Amino acid sequence: MKQIVIFASGSGTNAENIIQYFDKKENASVVLILSNKKNAKVLDRANNHNIPCFYFNKTLFQKTNYINSLLQNINPDLIVLAGFLWKFPEAIIKDFPDKIINIHPALLPKYGGKGMYGMNVHEAVVENKETETGITIHYVNENYDEGAIIFQAKTQIDASDSPEHVAKKVHLLEYENFPVIIEQLLNE
């Protein structure tokens, strides 16, 4: 059985979508959810699905080997960042080469980098009068949103679309594609 560990910082809708997708599969499952926010809704979602979850602070994540040791003990087949906003420590990236992926709510390399997440991205896309946007699933490296691109999906933007409308279109792409790409990577 392939094992997936998810890192998330917020509500966890993508994490829950991944959990539900793999609940129907026999070859893989989500075995742990980690969050850097004590009150993140993703922790409630993990509990609702009886998946172990753990909260950690910045010191534990960046200045100790605790999270890396935890991951090494599990030895997951894939580490999935689903709305996780902190830069990943180089030690973890080094210990899990090509096993850490992220989803970004834009067509990288556009609208990537520090501070470009969530509504910040959608507001910038609308402000710049883009005609399309989408999602990018990529490997995680030592720089924000610069790892090798695995997959992109696009959606059109209408001139009347608000950042909230764009967010809804992008979320649909995330829900439809992220679990499928995860499954493909696990089967390679």
**Residues tagged active-site:** 104
Task: Look up residue 140 and give its two tokens.
Answer: 């995680």
Classify the C-alpha dihedral 181-183-185-187 as positive or negative.
negative
Contacts of 86-92 spanning 24+ positions with Cβ under 8 A: 86/9, 86/36, 86/58, 86/61, 86/62, 87/114, 87/142, 87/144, 88/140, 88/142, 89/61, 89/62, 90/142, 91/65, 92/67, 92/68
Q: What one-letter code names the amino acid at 2?
A: K
